[in-house]
Structure 1
Amino acid sequence: MTDVLSTPGRPAMPERASVPTFAVITGEQVQQALSGREKQLVELVEAAYRLHDAGDTVNPPSYFLRFPDRPTARIIALPASIGGQAHVDGLKWISSFPQNVSAGLPRASAVLILNDHDTGYPFACLESSIISATRTAASAALAADRLSRGRPRPTRVGFFGTGLIARYIHTFLNGTGWAFEAVGVHDVSADSATGFRGYLRQAGATAPITVHDSAEDLVRASDLVVFATISGRPHVSDPAWFSHNPLVLHVSLRDLAPEVLLGSANFVDDVEHCLKADTSPHLAEQFTGNRDFLNGTLSDVMAGRAAPPADRPVVFSPFGLGVLDLAVGKYVYDEVSRAGNLRLIDDFFHELRRYG
């Protein structure tokens, strides 16, 4: 990052670095930077997956902060580093407090810290619930496309869970050219299912929309099934529900019992990340004592090293990689900066002289 000054006969001396800046980017700015750019963002996420596959990332395990007095709540730290055009380090700090919903607040809230690659100084803090939902939805849309190649393309989509993530996944499917003959909706909350149906109509959905009282009916009526729940343990255990070989975007990771996964072809975003923390694939590994039920990663499919079969259900279980948050977050930072709308915090860094 710093230039090197040199004169004949003297050792090169580094130029003094400029005072680091620090910006705060609000949720409104994030949304403005990302809105309507679904195709571009799917390409951005695909590029991040390729960098991860090539080893041009650092993505340590996520760290879970849990609370004995609030067993349903958690806060997760996702540190990461990514090369390529983003060339940035950082941390997503995201909380999940399900009881917020009954109080009229979103379940999840998050911030993303971006650190300069050369100095390590944090240079931005971004509202990140939108960034997190965006990278999750872009990953799901990418998987839907890649995993449906060589198979009949789904025409009936079903959403199991109807919160923010489901809404963003629908937006990204719609924004990347998917059209469906029928849309199914199921949620344990009737109000949430009704609200999601209203959103679909407002978003311009013209296909028939069915709110299914039965989870089984939703799965059997859909050849693309999106699981976007807050379940902490499997609640779908009958492989017969999937006998029509649908493509399943298992975004919430803990809905499917091992029996369902063992009757399916299974793809993940990262093997080591996904097979931990009692995810459904982790439970399947514990049940079988091996990882033979895995067919590969999404990157394997993109690189032609693996292919989804047509004669079994295909399940994509993404743990969610911090490098995706960094890629999308750096994109937002660059867009806000280009527009001249960065909100810099003057004198955020104070002790910048070594000896005072």
Structure 2
Amino acid sequence: MKEFAASPVTAAAEPKTIPPFAVISGAQVQQVLQGREKQVVELVEQTYRVHAAGDSVNPPSYFLRFPDRPTSRIIALPASVGGQVDVDGIKWVSSFPDNVASGIPRASAVLILNDRATGYPFACMESSIISASRTAASAAAAANWLSRGRGRPRRIGFFGVGLIARYIHTFLNATDWSFDEIGVFDLSGESAEGFKGYLERSGTRARVTVHDGPEQLIRSSDLVVFATVAGEPHVHDTTWFAHNPLVLHVSLRDLAPEILLASTNILDDVNHCLKAGTSAHLVEQMVGHRDFVDGTLVDVMEGRVSPADDRPVVFSPFGLGVLDLAVGKYVYDELASSGQLRVVEDFFSELRRYG
């Protein structure tokens, strides 16, 4: 008699349970992350290593754009990360720059965490704070690793002064950075003055200067942070970088190709950074190869790449979904262990296959 293998439907399977579904507010996220900047930086570094080792899935981000609102977009970042994080999920983040004129933040986001055993989502959390935190942690990690052998910069300049810039300053401050001078420039003079006020309230001992233009800011800074909403390069003059600063190119589209070609280029993920019209992507399209990329941050962390100090060093982080998942899972675990999860009872109500 012919034997047949048991089908997946009839074969015995390990029992599975549906996890409770929780909603986590921005206030709870902030409560968990505030004061734990060092732990978040360490988590981000660990997640970069897990991703580099191949224990993750991080497909291309999907950009939802609107013909009637060309400056706005909503981005989907699906991902899966193994290691100690061990979670799947997706971030859904919007960027509506016109919000700023109405006095509300440009970006808003939610993060969904999915159980790896059942696929069921088990948390929905406010994610603009998670996004800002993982971005700032990535920037702080890069500043630390890329300044080794060059000496820590004492003069920092912020080009663009929104939420991301504030979080980067907070994370640098929390990871034992200090500065003699802090420069500020923004197309909005009001925003620049507001950021100066924040810096002074933060207790910094640095001299804070609001610059009239970008050249003055860049030439007077050894560490330059780009955190703008620029959609295409607007900084072209390579001579502005003749003093070989360390550049955290967080907003990805500020620098013209000629500046990157004259610099050491460190990315967080090569394939992701060379997409979506980033400055690095424009360089690849112009020269037809990727030889201008010197390596990734993990390459630097593991000693495979040592940036020289005789040219600018530019760090371009695309911002990986695996980082959002890692920070989001950290928040979830902290709230769960302290009994503060707000579970939505009966969120999943249709649970019987045949009714």
| Length-normalised TM-score, structure 2 | 0.96
How big is each residue's C-alpha offset from its partner over 1:250-283, in whole Å with a ceiling of 9 and x where there is no partner? 0000000001101100010000000011000000
CA positional deviation for 1:21: 1.2
How big is each residue's C-alpha offset from its partner over 1:141-166, in whole Å with a ceiling of 9 and x where there is no partner? 00000000111321100000000000
CA positional deviation for 1:12: 9.0
In structure 1, the partner of 2:219 is: 220
Mapped to 2, the partners of 1:25 and 1:172 lie a distance apart of 23
In structure 1, the partner of 2:129 is: 130
Alignment of 1:133-282 (within 5 A): 133-282=132-281
User: Are 1:20 and 1:349, in contact at CA under 8 Å, matched by a contact in 2?
Assistant: no
In structure 1, the partner of 2:65 is: 66
Mapped to 2, the partners of 1:95 and 1:235 lie a distance apart of 23
Alignment of 1:104-123 (within 5 A): 104-123=103-122
CA positional deviation for 1:289: 1.1
Which secondary structure state, in structure 1, belongs to the residue aligned with residue 124 of structure 2?
Answer: strand
CA positional deviation for 1:19: 3.9
User: Are 2:268 and 2:298, in contact at CA under 8 Å, matched by a contact in 1?
Assistant: yes
CA positional deviation for 1:15: 5.5
User: Are 1:72 and 1:98, in contact at CA under 8 Å, matched by a contact in 2?
Assistant: yes
User: 5+ residue gaps in structure 2?
Assistant: 1-9
In structure 1, the partner of 2:7 is: none
Which secondary structure state, in structure 2, belongs to the residue aligned with residue 248 of structure 1?
Answer: strand
Mapped to 2, the partners of 1:181 and 1:82 lie a distance apart of 39
Identity across matched positions, percent: 71
The one-letter code matched in structure 1 to 2:153 is P
User: Are 2:18 and 2:120, in contact at CA under 8 Å, matched by a contact in 1?
Assistant: no
CA positional deviation for 1:81: 0.4
CA positional deviation for 1:16: 4.0
User: Are 1:115 and 1:121, in contact at CA under 8 Å, matched by a contact in 2?
Assistant: yes
Mapped to 1, the partners of 2:33 and 2:166 lie a distance apart of 15
Which secondary structure state, in structure 2, belongs to the residue aligned with residue 109 of structure 1?
Answer: strand
In structure 2, the partner of 1:3 is: none
User: Are 1:166 and 1:228, in contact at CA under 8 Å, matched by a contact in 2?
Assistant: yes
User: Are 1:74 and 1:97, in contact at CA under 8 Å, matched by a contact in 2?
Assistant: yes
Residue 98 in structure 1 maps to residue 80 in structure 2 = no
Mapped to 2, the partners of 1:285 and 1:12 lie a distance apart of 51
The one-letter code matched in structure 2 to 1:76 is I
CA positional deviation for 1:351: 1.1
How big is each residue's C-alpha offset from its partner over 1:202-257, in whole Å with a ceiling of 9 and x where there is no partner? 11111100000110000000000000000000000000000000000000000000
Deviating beyond 6 angstroms after TM superposition, the runs of 4 or more aligned structure 1 residues are none
In structure 2, the partner of 1:85 is: 84
**Cα RMSD for the two superposed structures:** 1.1
CA positional deviation for 1:104: 1.3
User: Are 1:135 and 1:325, in contact at CA under 8 Å, matched by a contact in 2?
Assistant: yes
How big is each residue's C-alpha offset from its partner over 1:37-76, in whole Å with a ceiling of 9 and x where there is no partner? 1111100000000001110110000000000000000000
In structure 1, the partner of 2:319 is: 320
**Pair 226,187 (structure 1): closer, same or farther in 2 beyond 3 Å:** same
Which secondary structure state, in structure 2, belongs to the residue aligned with residue 158 of structure 1?
Answer: strand
User: Are 2:23 and 2:343, in contact at CA under 8 Å, matched by a contact in 1?
Assistant: yes
Q: How many equivalent residue pairs?
A: 346
In structure 2, the partner of 1:49 is: 48
| Length-normalised TM-score, structure 1 | 0.96
